[in-house]
A and B are shown apart, each in its own frame.
Chain A
Amino acid sequence: MTLSTQERRDGTRRPWSRIAPVSGRRFRQARVGLLFVAPMLLLFIVFRFVPTAGAFLLSLTDYSLSGEWSFIGVDNYTRLAGDDLFREALIVTLTYVVVFVPLTVLLSLGTALLLHQVVWGRGFFRGVFFLPYVTSIVLAAVIWKWIYDAEDGLLNGLLGLVSAGPVDFLGRAGAVLPSIAVTSAWKGFGYSMLILLAGLQSIPRSFTEAAMIDGAGAWQRFRHITLPLLRPVLFFVLVIETIQAFQVFDAMYVMTGGGPVRASYSLVYLLYDSGFKFFDFGYASAIGLMLFAVVLVVSLVQRRFVGRED
């Protein structure tokens, strides 16, 4: 091994002095490269890699606000397994995912298909649909909380005009998650719509034209040409939105405070409370890692499922 380090790629062996000019340039490149990466590398080490490793270690400890800690092994995880609060938060999160993901994907796909067909005013409509995406979920939550308000809200005002309601959208256990999902979908569908629209535009027009000549109807063209060709893009959108849905917190924090009776108390909400209300840092880290694991598993399963279909 010591010999091979002195060997050049072409196998010729040379004394170090004679390859100095080449390695000098290489050395300079390496030094410059490392110097230019250094600020980012430092930031990543300190604020990404250390916290990720820290999350693992922390989840195996009982870490108190004062900074005292003791190693307790997998106790936090066994505690999670028996914690009703965690089980409820997991169910709330899964329910939210099941409601939100189809809603937002269908909404983005629908608007993308509509936009793909129009010629006039496409830019204008694209802008309108994208507008909510540039705002914050907190803003969306604040506005929609009023829209849903049982007494003064816009929706109940409209329902009142046709002598219906009032419906307490955020105050009823069965309605609260769909209501929040609608708010998040409104805020975010513009992004997926743009991705899907770009996907639609990359499908050669000749494909659908040929099918039309063969007498295929609109639904058949969509089912047998558009959908299969759009699958990779659709998959990307599905994964992104699902991962996003598992991290739901902001809207619930602002709109319901997790209520009514924890009907909108998500995993991240539990993580936040465990950390910053009960200062149970070890336990909160264990929840964070469960979230990490769930997100990882879901994207792997999704990849398998969608990838295999054809």
Chain B
Amino acid sequence: MLLALTAIVTITPFAAMVLVAFAPPSGRTFPDAFIPSNVTWENFQNVLSGSDIGRWTLNSLVYSLSSVVLILLFASMAGYAFAKKRFPGREMMFWAFLATLMVPFQATLIPTYILVSKLGWVDGYWGLVVPTLANSQAVFLMRQFISQLPDELFEAAEMDGASEWRIYTTIVLPLVRPALATLGVFVFLWHWNDFLWPLVVGQSGEMQTLTVGLATLQAENVPINQIMAGATITVLPSLLVFGLLQRYLTDSIATTGIKG
């Protein structure tokens, strides 16, 4: 009983969002918006034509997907080196990477912004994507997973004369595919939902992401029905990922403690 009640309360805000998004523009108050007889697409059409939401979606996709690809690549390479190779400074580097988890991103927001602006990257994709690629959690996870692979595998491949890049692409990557998939989903969600960095670095309307755009709409006295339509569009990819990978996501949090 209590459980069902909690579940209903949890789901209600989403239901309210969808109902208001489909309600006619006149029905903005609580009881009116909940009469399902007059469902309309009008709000979606208005928000799509009246704002840069298409461009924001593109920006969010570029930001999320390029981060997924690059973080998976660089983190698995680094993870492989940390797990299976001996080189000077290995321990120190690894702990230095992990130590950055202790520094809140906000504490380095200003210097990172100054750096990016000196590089001429403000208001562009480079500035949006590159600074967020240094992800300690990704490196840590990849090292954990790769160190579980048996050493004999690599020794045998080495004896057969396989190059290191070949070992990495044909042995390491296929074997850690489940870990890559999990990490990929989380990186996607982190970047899709990210707010502060896109807000700071994408100043023009052209370079805003969906989350920043949604906040802008909210601040601009756009009718609530249109905002909710925009919110519904924003949440769709997350819901899709969630719907497809729910069990996967929840299990991996329970076992690895990945935190956004």
Contact = CB atoms under 8 A, between A and B. Distances in A.
A272 B133 CA distance: 22
A29 B247 contact: no
A195 interface: yes
Nearest to A144: B13
A195 to B, nearest CB: 6
Interface string B227-260: 1100100110011011000110110011101011
Interface residues of A, number: 94
Nearest to B89: A34
Interface stretch (B14-22, B40-48, B50-58, B176-184): B14-22
Given A41-B93, A130-B250, A291-B106, A58 B30 contact: no
A203 interface: no
B3 A36 contact: no
B85 A134 contact: no
A144 B218 CA distance: 12
A41 B78 contact: yes
Given A44-B100, A136-B234, A33 B107 contact: no
Interface residues of B, number: 87
Interface stretch (A11-19, A171-179, A206-214, A247-255): A247-255
Nearest to B85: A33
A254 B249 contact: no
A296 B104 CA distance: 10
Best-buried of B13, B73, B107, B194 by chain A (most CB within 10 Å):
B107
Best-buried of A48, A49, A247, A250 by chain B (most CB within 10 Å):
A48
B238 A135 contact: yes
A198 B74 contact: no
A134 B253 contact: no
A292 B195 contact: no
A296 B30 CA distance: 44
Nearest to B194: A136
Interface string A39-61: 11101101111111011001000
Contacts of B88: 30, 34
B186 to A, nearest CB: 10
Interface of A: 26, 29-37, 39-41, 43-44, 46-52, 54-55, 58, 63, 110-111, 114-115, 118, 123, 125-147, 149, 151-154, 156-158, 160, 186, 191, 194-195, 197-198, 236, 240, 243, 246-247, 249-250, 253-254, 257, 268, 271-272, 275-276, 281, 284-285, 288-289, 291-292, 295-296
Given A52-B108, A131-B242, A133-B260, 11 more contacts: A33-B90, A40-B78, A44-B100, A54-B111, A126-B250, A135-B238, A142-B215, A142-B231, A143-B231, A158-B30, A268-B196
26 contacts: A29-B87, A30-B87, A32-B164, A37-B93, A39-B74, A39-B77, A40-B78, A48-B100, A111-B6, A133-B260, A135-B235, A138-B193, A145-B218, A147-B13, A154-B30, A157-B30, A186-B13, A195-B253, A247-B105, A247-B106, A253-B215, A268-B106, A272-B109, A275-B110, A275-B113, A285-B110
> Shortest 10 CB-CB distances between A and B: which pairs?
A157-B30, A33-B85, A54-B111, A136-B193, A33-B87, A198-B254, A36-B81, A51-B108, A288-B107, A51-B111
